[in-house]
Structure 1
């Protein structure tokens, strides 16, 4: 006789619909024939039963529909192999954590059922009261887990929202610090825009992620924030600085670091590193610490290239602006002495992007000397 196809039916169990304050559960029963479900005394539970019956039940797509508890009636003679059903269920993501109760498994297959993924196993003879207790316990555990999952999801959403708000606040702080720099020098905004654009190009040329490149670019806009502590007589001097004035100007690196370094913000900590190290040199001849090679944070090495390039192509009262090509040659000639060779190579690899940036943000005459 050919195998009977799987059949599906729904049987309400609760005598009254679940109230808004009560949990409601769906139990799927995989069995050989529909009358088998009658052995389950589930009165008192707010639940419904979905029956998946027939010799082909183990292979039926119906067993993969959502359920709070799946009860598998192990009946190899009738075509229901509990181990196969459990493995099939666990192979689907939607049932990776579903409670599965296997009934009628021979004692010898009890461990195998658990290893296949069963949550609980009951062997013959099955006591109806014991079965009811097991089912109630599994349903309660399932509903408790679902509640915890919902609470966890809500908590994660709150955390994500808090992180987003914190990131927005960080960017707001940075924007306002940029405004502070522009109050001292109305040309600073364009300089910071070009440096940030060059920093992104270099970072991407080095293979950094888009997120890391954007962080470095944003943090780079505060590389000269320490200059707000420099007297106007030096900061706005229309000509080269004296030696003592140059030494005072150099203090902007340390002062910028002190303004930013003790913040818990990742971006402000990154900005503090850049502020402190963007005047260091690859050969150790820079300031303020005389760091060399990879002692200099990567972000500082990136911004050093971007900052000098923009300083060279910008006009000052004591010098003419260099062409972008001449500034590029300068960077290449000083790779390995002033600059990290890898950063210069990354800069050159993105040359078309750099030219586009310069074209869209042309430098104007600036009076602030670059120490």
Structure 2
């Protein structure tokens, strides 16, 4: 290339921009940026002259140079030659589409190649259109304008979608906080009435979580299980577990706070607390739009955690798998913690003796599969008991 032409071409390779801050255009939006890529100086000069009055135009005479410019400052649209040395247009397009910074930038191939296979390959690379050489200035302007308008709409929709996702996430977080606050208030009410239990509700919550997670991770330990134990379900069951004795708020003080064994009549009254709790939660669920949702497991646990695997429990004398899994988990957690805890009428059992009593009741009081999970989680039970000891 002659020196004069080389100097002219070097100056042309700098971005060609319109003065967006000239008098009368201070409030105008910035001009869209076009990146024109072609290894032939005459073609670059032609495209620059055609487009620079309406757009900010950047020029690149190789694929590597184009990628460098695009990564530094992503353009709004790329006009890309196909047949270039070292890196052809298809390779450049694939690089642009694989980079998160430039994957949404529309690419129009400008090429003398006009076979259907050539266009198919270009569209497969991610191009949005083809302009065939020799170019027609009106067609170039029209295609560029059309695809910039499409990109503007797509960017707007993308921003709106991102904003809606953020709003939805914030609303869901608010609902989650409200749900947790509701559970906290209910649990606090139950604890306030039954002051001797100390950290019982927290320990049983964590025992239930440990049992559920073990069964979820070891499905072969409960081959007949049909109820879900995915992470979200386990979280709901664990958060509901502290409400297992919410019905005790309806039990008279002289029975609930009696510092000794209950009489037969008092025990009959105490046995009503599962139905009291279920009814409270049922009414709360109705006020919140139905029983489905985070209170459904709380209702199962409150009503059925005193059922027995052999059908001799209360209040409904359910047996086996008819007892909801959440309640079967709670039954083991509740009895284990009652055994290892001090009460006005009993001293705490050592862990080994408590676990043996649980083991002895497998198939009678407790679901044998849940008992096996408890045996496998003994170290975790000990850790929970130590962390939340009274």
**TM-score with structure 1 setting the length:** 0.83
The count of aligned residue pairs is: 355
Give unmatched runs, 5+ long, in structure 2.
1-9, 218-228
Contact 1:32 1:79 in 2 (8 A): no
Contact 1:202 1:343 in 2 (8 A): yes
In structure 2, what is the Cα distance between the partners aligned to 1:24 and 1:282? 74
Contact 2:204 2:241 in 1 (8 A): yes
> 2:83 pairs with 67, 75, 81, which one?
75
- Structure 2 CA distance for partners of 1:35 and 1:191, relative to 1, 3 Å: same
> 1:289 pairs with 316, 320, 337, which one?
316
Q: Please state if 1:223 is matched with 2:244.
A: yes
Contact 1:28 1:67 in 2 (8 A): yes
Question: Cα RMSD (Å) of the superposition?
Answer: 3.1
SS of the equivalent of 1:216 reads helix
Contact 1:58 1:81 in 2 (8 A): no
Higher mean C-alpha displacement, 56-65 vs 199-208: 56-65
Aligned runs of 1:132-171 on 2, under 5 Å?
Answer: 132-171=141-180
Matched residue, 1:97: 104
Aligned runs of 1:39-54 on 2, under 5 Å?
Answer: 39-40=46-47, 41-43=50-52, 45=54, 47-54=55-62
Matched residue, 2:280: 259
1:224 is displaced (CA, Å) by 0.8
Contact 2:70 2:102 in 1 (8 A): no
SS of the equivalent of 2:243 reads coil
Matched residue, 2:16: 12
Q: What are the superposed Cα offsets for residues 176-230 of structure 1, whole Å, 9 maximum, x if unpaired?
A: 1122112212224421122123223223333367665444332211111111122
- Structure 2 CA distance for partners of 1:351 and 1:99, relative to 1, 3 Å: same
Higher mean C-alpha displacement, 178-187 vs 91-100: 91-100
In structure 1, what is the Cα distance between the partners aligned to 2:151 and 2:350? 70
> 1:194 pairs with 197, 203, 206, which one?
203
Give unmatched runs, 5+ long, in structure 1.
1-6, 364-371
In structure 2, what is the Cα distance between the partners aligned to 1:140 and 1:244? 80
> 2:255 pairs with 197, 210, 234, which one?
234
Contact 1:202 1:350 in 2 (8 A): yes
Contact 2:16 2:52 in 1 (8 A): no
In structure 1, what is the Cα distance between the partners aligned to 2:276 and 2:57? 71
Contact 2:35 2:59 in 1 (8 A): yes
SS of the equivalent of 1:50 reads strand
**TM-score with structure 2 setting the length:** 0.79
In structure 2, what is the Cα distance between the partners aligned to 1:201 and 1:232? 33
In structure 2, what is the Cα distance between the partners aligned to 1:179 and 1:106? 75
- Structure 2 CA distance for partners of 1:58 and 1:277, relative to 1, 3 Å: farther
In structure 1, what is the Cα distance between the partners aligned to 2:27 and 2:179? 43
In structure 1, what is the Cα distance between the partners aligned to 2:112 and 2:273? 78
Aligned runs of 1:115-134 on 2, under 5 Å?
Answer: 115-134=124-143
- Structure 2 CA distance for partners of 1:255 and 1:57, relative to 1, 3 Å: same
Matched residue, 2:222: none
Contact 1:260 1:268 in 2 (8 A): yes
SS of the equivalent of 1:321 reads coil
1:332 is displaced (CA, Å) by 1.1
